[in-house]
Amino acid sequence: MTAKRHTVDDSIKQGEAVRKEYRQLYVSFILMLVLTALAFVAVASEKIPAGFVVPFLLFLALVQFLLQLIIFMHLNEKGTEYETLLVFCGFFVAILTVASLLYLIWW
């Protein structure tokens, strides 16, 4: 039985991967702040028509939600297929619930 030897090259590659992941997290966090600021500006601005603000806010919320799932919840990594499946099953159940409630309320 032989033990795996760690070389300096392995340590450098590991450090670069960690730096790349942190860089991606920082950029994503700044992007989330920008999307939130855009939402605040859209609501606070009186020059933007109200008919445009609501769909724009929903779009920003969807983009932010998907980015948070992919980046911060690490659903883009290998080995998370089961978790990804559970998340999308939850989406399906939520959409069915909202559609059912809307149907009961409006018809």
- pLDDT recorded at residue 24: 86
Nearest to 43 by CA among 28, 29, 31, 60: 60
pTM across the whole model: 0.67
Do the beta carbons of residue 59 and residue 67 sit within 8 Å? no
Residues 6 or more apart whose Cβ sits within 8 Å of residue 68: 32
Please tell me the predicted confidence (pLDDT) of residue 83.
83
Q: State which residues of the chain have pLDDT below 50.
A: none
User: What's the first-to-final CA gap in the chain, in angstroms?
Assistant: 71
pLDDT given at position 96: 97
Supply the pLDDT for residue 3.
62
- What is the reported pLDDT for 104? 94
Find out whether 28 and 72 touch, Cβ atoms under 8 Å.
Answer: yes
pLDDT of residue 105: 93
The full DSSP string for 7-20 is -HHHHHHHHHHHHH
% of the chain beyond a pLDDT of 90: 43
